[in-house]
Amino acid sequence: MLSPTILVVEDDPAVRQGVVDALTFAGYEVLSAADGRAGREAALTARYDLLLLDLILPHYTGFEILEALQGNRAGQAVIILSAKGEENDRVKGLKMGADDYVMKPFSARELLARVDAVLRRTTERQALGEKHEVAGRVIDLTCAEIVRDGVRQELSEREVGVLRYLIANPERPVPRDELLRHVWGLDPNRIETRTVDMHIAHLRKKLGDQSQEILETVRGRGYRLALKP
């Protein structure tokens, strides 16, 4: 089995080399770029499984690279490498699709643990079937749409993420804090937001689920998708 390939985009030579060495020693294949221009090109064209991305880069910022990925490689696994004082930037990056962030300075042990966790979640997502039937609706995660009575409703990237996570956990209600942590990559203890509730409401509308029998609210426990057995 081939080792996962990781792309490291970091302009600090010492940090970049330390990350490359740690990943290589752990058995990963590693690509690297030293600035935003080379990083953006590699992020859009290279074959890799996970991107480790600094936010403050020459030429193109990490945010510009994330934006380019959204349009060309939606769903690409990304871990942000973030300086300690950039909390707002970290939150922005996570909202733009990053899976996790590691605050600088970080240890090789912490970085490798985060890399392993994100790669494991990515593998689990890929292992799921991409089409699912529920109450006469077809949820197509690949095409990012719900088909109901022959009508196609487009899904946003986050709506796909919510549905994918609920489908991966069919036997139990999923708490909103868990969705916030795993789909948005946000710490529910450090941020207040109604984004989960808004996305659930939008999904119910697209499912035609006014009675909330498809996307159920289990009082005090979370949300559950009533998939067809």
* Total structural domains within the chain: 2
| pTM of the predicted protein model | 0.59
Domain boundary among 126, 150, 169: 126
* CATH at 144: 1.10.10.10
Domain that holds residue 163: 128-225
- 121 and 196 together in one domain: no
Q: Which of 83, 102, 126 is the last residue of a domain?
A: 126
Q: What is the full per-residue pLDDT of the chain (229 aa) written as tens digits?
A: 568 899 999 999 999 999 999 999 999 999 999 999 999 999 988 989 899 999 989 999 999 999 888 777 767 889 999 875 566 777 788 778 888 888 888 999 999 999 998 888 776 655 555 788 888 899 988 788 899 888 888 988 889 889 988 888 877 889 988 888 888 877 777 777 788 999 999 999 999 999 999 999 998 899 999 875 5
DSSP result, the chain: -PPPEEEEE-S-HHHHHHHHHHHHHTT-EEEEESSHHHHHHHHHHS--SEEEEESS-SSS-HHHHHHHHHHHSTT-EEEEEEETT-HHHHHHHHHTT--EEEEES--HHHHHHHHHHHHHHHHHHHHS-SEEEETTEEEETTTTEEEETTEEEE--HHHHHHHHHHHHSTTSPBPHHHHHHHTS---TTT----HHHHHHHHHHHHHT-TT-SSEEEETTTEEEE----
